[in-house]
Amino acid sequence: MLKLHSSSTSPFGRKVKVASLFTGHAGRIEILAADTMNPDDPLRKDNPLGKIPCLVLPDGSTLYDSRVIIEYLDHEAGDGRVIPTQWPERLAALKLQALGDGIMDAAILQLYEGRFRPGERHEPAWLAHQGGKVERGLAVLEADPPKASALPHVGTITIACMLDWLDFRFSTLAGGKYPRLAAFRAEFAAAIPDFAKTAPKA
């Protein structure tokens, strides 16, 4: 049995959960609810960085972060389930994953600025710096959105999870600024009904 340190709101943990649907591991992963702010949480023993997701293998060894975990799941499944084996499809999927991960990283830093600093101590330049990354990344994706498929790869999984999380935290798609990305997310959810089961919950 595999064990996954994660949370119900982590977009990176969700990436792993969605990928596991296609690598045949979904029923073999026990989710361990993690609190990254709790110094006594077992997560810190399994990942010295104290970050999620973190996968605990049957022999007790651990893997982190989401990119490494998905690489492991794909390899164990026989390669090619969610990470294409052929070039240039592989490069395109990994590049898309990197863009989605980067957008989430920047948005999380914005969220943490508001969560851990009182309003009078917010740093506008820092928030603008991170916000620029998010806006530029979304603009690139809106101009050339990925294609949804019932057989997604790590890139489209990442983008779908990223968009759902941004909407959950910031209502990013609600304003109609990114209609093509909103359409992609809807098509992805329709093609993969189990995607909704992993949706972030407050």
Please state, in angstroms and rounded to a whole number, the distance separating the CA atoms of residues 39 and 198. Answer: 26
**pLDDT digit string, tens, across residues 64-94:** 999 999 999 999 999 899 999 999 999 999 9
Domain assignment present for 61: yes
What's 48-116 look like in SS3?
CCCCCCEEECCCCCEECCHHHHHHHHHHHHCCCCCCCCCCCHHHHHHHHHHHHHHHHHHHHHHHHHHHH
Please state, in angstroms and rounded to a whole number, the distance separating the CA atoms of residues 104 and 113. Answer: 14
Residues 101 and 175 in one domain: yes
Contact partners, residue 115, CB within 8 Å, separation at least 6 = none
Residues 104 and 71 in one domain: no
Q: Inform me whether the pLDDT recorded for 186 exceeds 80.
A: yes
Please state, in angstroms and rounded to a whole number, the distance separating the CA atoms of residues 116 and 200. Answer: 21
Lookup result for tokens 């990994």: 94
Q: What is the mean pLDDT of the chain?
A: 95
Last residue of a domain, one of 77, 112, 127: 77
Residue 119 confidence (pLDDT): 67
Residue 116 confidence (pLDDT): 62
Residues 109 and 191 in one domain: yes
CATH number assigned to the domain comprising residue 168: 1.20.1050.10
Residues 174 and 100 in one domain: yes
pTM of the complete model: 0.96
Residues 113 and 169 in one domain: yes
Q: Inform me whether the pLDDT recorded for 104 exceeds 90.
A: yes
**pLDDT digit string, tens, across residues 189-198:** 999 999 999 9
For 121-184, where are the E strands, in sequence order? Answer: none
Residues 111 and 72 in one domain: no
Please state, in angstroms and rounded to a whole number, the distance separating the CA atoms of residues 145 and 28. Answer: 32
Query: Region 110-124: what's the mean pLDDT?
Result: 76
Q: How far is CA 38 from CA 43, 53, 64, in A?
A: 9, 15, 18
Residues 101 and 186 in one domain: yes
In the structure, what pLDDT confidence band is assigned to residue 112 with cuts at 50, 70 and 90? Answer: confident
Residue 168 confidence (pLDDT): 96
Count of structural domains within the chain: 2
Residues 108 and 182 in one domain: yes
Residues 143 and 186 in one domain: yes
Residues 71 and 105 in one domain: no
Residues 94 and 194 in one domain: yes
15 phi, psi to nearest 5 deg: -50, -45
Domain assignment present for 82: no
CATH number assigned to the domain comprising residue 14: 3.40.30.10
Residues 96 and 169 in one domain: yes
The parent domain of residue 103 ranges over 89-198
Q: Inform me whether the pLDDT recorded for 161 exceeds 90.
A: yes
Sign, Cα dihedral of 36, 4, 102, 132: negative
Residue 20 confidence (pLDDT): 98
